[in-house]
Amino acid sequence: MFQAVPGSRTLRQTTGALGAVALLALGATPAVADDPTPELVLGEIAPVTGLKPGSAFDVPVSFTNTGTEALGKVWLSYSLTQGLSHTELPSNCARYEVGSFDEAPSYSYAVCEFDQTVEPGIVYAPERSQEFKALGKAYTDELRAVVSADDPAPTEGVDEGPVPGTGPAVKLVEQPDATPAAPGSGEHEGWDAADVPVNAVNTADFQVSGAKLKGKVGETLSFEVKFTNAGPAWVRRESGTGATKVVVKMPAGTTVTKAHGFCDKTAARTYECGTSQAWVDPGDGQTYTFKLRIDKAVAGAEGSVKLAGEPRPFDENTANDTAAILLDVAGSGGGSTSGGGTANGGGSTGGGGSTATPSADPTDGGGSTSATGGSTTGGSSTLDGDLASTGSSSTLPLAGAAAAAVAAGTGAVLVVRRRKARP
């Protein structure tokens, strides 16, 4: 994670995706009461838009020492979301790769040390702007620039680094034509940060896959349906939300006896499913597992899997946004039913309408018990989909509380936050 700082001072929480999880540690020696407080203020940094994947770009960064005393050393650091990368770094810089954790995706971090005097009231900038690259999966990315009076090198969650730069060292130079930041305008003690949107022109193909099921009346089937980001771009949503939502509707004449932990029941035989994180990489996605009991053969019974949730302007291929769940029921009146087919055996309705049966899903039929030993199923056996989509686990370690909720008939849902273990 973003480390921060000396003397137990921590970064404020910002609205950017990187800033939302940042704690920039500036590990300095505790200041004596009469010591001057260093104040650093970044200049304005414009957003970067219209990039093509594979192209290079730079972000000019400048800053002012708005304090009353000169500083003997400063650091500039650059954090990149995973659609971006650093190019060659100067030898006075080092790169770190920090892995994903909780609801934060992995990022690349470069720290540059400038061992030179920084006078108050003067605007400084590196003599050469640092260059970056938009990767093939770039889309809505972000760069976080930080200037600090103390070393902000990350100390937790580092997968790689420090890797020293190999290019010629870069020094700070004065910018006489730039307007210095006003004294006292700094928002933090000894550092300042800016989150810069970096947007590339790219697409990501979100798609779903269905299932083909076959079984007898009374049989319980296990199956899975999938959501996949076929790329080429990665997609990052606001922290605390899912990458997308998937609506799964089961064929008529069936009962879900166990739903995936990221799925919430929203209507008869219908579940809304989230994702484990707020982002999804190319080739990744989510697999949803269900257990489905066949209660009766219904003519034309067919379920579906469909993308829902936030708009997807990046997804130009909508043909694979929906998939079917086909059910072939054997052993009912000597025939079988498949999606779009006809039912054999009387008493069942065609199309999507089926008559209720004593063994129907309790939440479909007003909370009746299932035919499997009289235990309730449906909503009380699954996690809340919206909360699960922010990274919740599909297990319920608070089993005693869950059992009490079921016994009270409240249908309460208990959720545990999923955290990635760190060494």
Mean pLDDT of the chain: 77
Residue 238 sits in a domain of what CATH number?
A: 2.60.40.290
- Is the residue at 349 inside a domain? yes
pLDDT, tens only, 177-200? 999 999 989 889 999 999 999 999
Domain count for the chain? 2
Q: Is there a domain that residue 143 lies in?
A: yes
User: What one-letter code names the amino acid at 167?
Assistant: G
Query: Among 144, 168, 200, which residue terminates a domain?
Result: 200
Backbone phi, psi, residue 50, to 5°: 70, 20
Query: Which one, of 102, 193, 207, 114, lies nearest residue 156 by Cα?
Result: 102
194 & 288 share domain: no
pLDDT of residue 125: 98
Average pLDDT on 267-293 reads: 97
Asked, for residue 412, whether it belongs to a domain, the answer is no
Considering only residues 33 and 288, tell me which one the structure prediction assigns the higher pLDDT.
288
Task: Judge whether 415 lies within some domain.
Answer: no
Instruction: State the pLDDT at residue 194.
Output: 97
In angstroms, the CA 159 to CA 145 distance is 21
Determine the average pLDDT of the residues in 250-265. 98
Are both 156 and 264 inside the same structural domain?
A: no
Contact 229, 48 (CB under 8 A): no
What pLDDT band is residue 104 in, cutting at 50, 70 and 90?
Answer: confident
Identify whether residues 125 and 247 lie together within a single domain: no
Provide the pLDDT for residue 36: 62
Domain identity same for 28 and 171: yes
In a shared domain, residues 225 and 169: no
pTM: 0.70
Q: Is 46 found in the same domain as 149?
A: yes
Average pLDDT over residues 136-152: 96
Report residue 331's pLDDT band, with 50, 70 and 90 as the boundaries: low
pLDDT score for 414 = 30
For residue 137, being part of any structural domain is answered with yes
* Domain co-membership, 48 together with 143: yes
Residue range 333-385, pLDDT digits in tens: 433 443 333 333 333 333 333 333 333 343 343 333 333 333 333 333 333 33
pLDDT for 386: 35
| 239 plus 281 within the same structural domain | yes
Domain extent, residue 189, equals 6-200
**Which pLDDT value is given to residue 184?**
86
Judge residue 12's burial from the number of C-beta atoms within 10 Å of its C-beta, 0-12 exposed, 13-18 middle, 19 or more buried: exposed
pLDDT of residue 167: 96
Question: Do 171 and 114 form a contact (C-beta atoms < 8 A)?
Answer: yes
The whole-number pLDDT of residue 33 equals 42
Percent of the chain residues topping a pLDDT of 70: 69
The predicted pLDDT at position 155 comes to: 83
pLDDT at position 58: 94
Q: Which residues contact 198 (CB under 8 A, 6 or more apart)?
A: 47, 48, 51, 57, 81, 83, 84, 132, 134, 138, 141, 142, 143
Higher-scoring residue by pLDDT: 68, 32: 68
Q: Are 141 and 83 in contact (CB under 8 A)?
A: yes
Summarize pLDDT for 52-61 with one digit per residue, the tens: 999 999 999 9
Residues 125 and 423: their CA atoms lie apart, in Å, by 37
100 phi and psi angles, rounded to 5 deg: -70, 155
Q: CA torsion angle for 260, 388, 408, 290 (degrees, to 10)?
A: 0
Residue 146 lies in a domain: yes
Top-confidence residue, 316 or 17? 316
pLDDT of residue 392: 36
Q: Are residues 63 and 212 in the same domain?
A: no
Residue 71 has pLDDT above 70, yes or no: yes
Condensed to tens digits (0 to 9), the pLDDT of residues 388-409 reads 333 333 333 333 333 333 333 3
Each residue's pLDDT tens digit, 200-227: 999 999 999 999 999 999 999 999 999 9
Q: Is the pLDDT confidence value at 256 over 60?
A: yes
Q: Is the pLDDT of residue 42 over 80?
A: yes
Looking at the structure, do residues 185 and 208 belong to the same domain, yes or no?
A: no
Q: What is the pLDDT of residue 157?
A: 83
pLDDT at 284 over 90: yes
Is 209 contained in some domain? yes
